[in-house]
Amino acid sequence: MYKGAPPENFAKAEILRKNMTEPEKLLWNRLKNNSWGYKFRRQHPLHIFIVDFYCHSLKLVIEVDGGYHESPAQKLKDKERSEIIEFQDLTILRFSNEEVINRIEKVLVAIEEIINSYPRP
């Protein structure tokens, strides 16, 4: 489930869980109630990264990106990170802070569409 995460990432993840951004808190309040029948984890160590949200049974990663993700250098890093994560047979959904704050229902519909595309166990 942790896909080779180094031990120090677990301590970092705990700090991140205690210091979530407002958009992350907003989305977490909708994901944690398990309304789709799947358990999501927040600030989850995965490989050499810590992802914002992760559902192991769906192999689904959800990232909430702040404004700094718009810089060319960060876009390149995000692309490389996504390739490494997707190589592990995981799906990534990315939303901006603004999308989560201003259009949470649209974000939830997008997540639900992905969830519904998976065969039920």
Q: Which of 74, 17, 5 is CA-nearest to residue 45?
A: 5
pLDDT at 102: 97
Report how far residue 31's alpha carbon sits from residue 47's, in angstroms, rounded to the nearest whole number: 22
In a domain, 80, yes or no: yes
Residue 94's domain spans which residues? Answer: 8-115
Q: Distance of alpha carbon 60 from its chain centroid, rounded?
A: 8
- List the CATH number of the domain containing 108: 3.40.960.10
In a domain, 67, yes or no: yes
Model pLDDT, residue 11: 79
Give the pTM. Answer: 0.85
For residues 13-26, average pLDDT: 90
Whole-number Å distance between alpha carbons of 92 and 48:
16
Name the residue with higher pLDDT: 12 or 91.
Answer: 91
List Cβ neighbours of 108 (8 Å cut-off, separation of 6 or more): 30
Our count of domains for the chain comes to: 1
**For residue 43, which phi and psi values (nearest 5 degrees)?**
45, 65
Task: Kindly report, residue by residue over 54-110, the tens digit of the pLDDT.
Answer: 999 999 999 998 765 566 776 678 788 888 888 888 999 999 999 999 999 999 999
Give the pLDDT band of residue 121 (cuts 50, 70, 90): low
Distance, CA of 98 to CA of 35 (rounded, Å): 23
**Strand order of the sheet with strand 60-65?**
41-46, 49-55, 60-65, 91-96
In a domain, 101, yes or no: yes
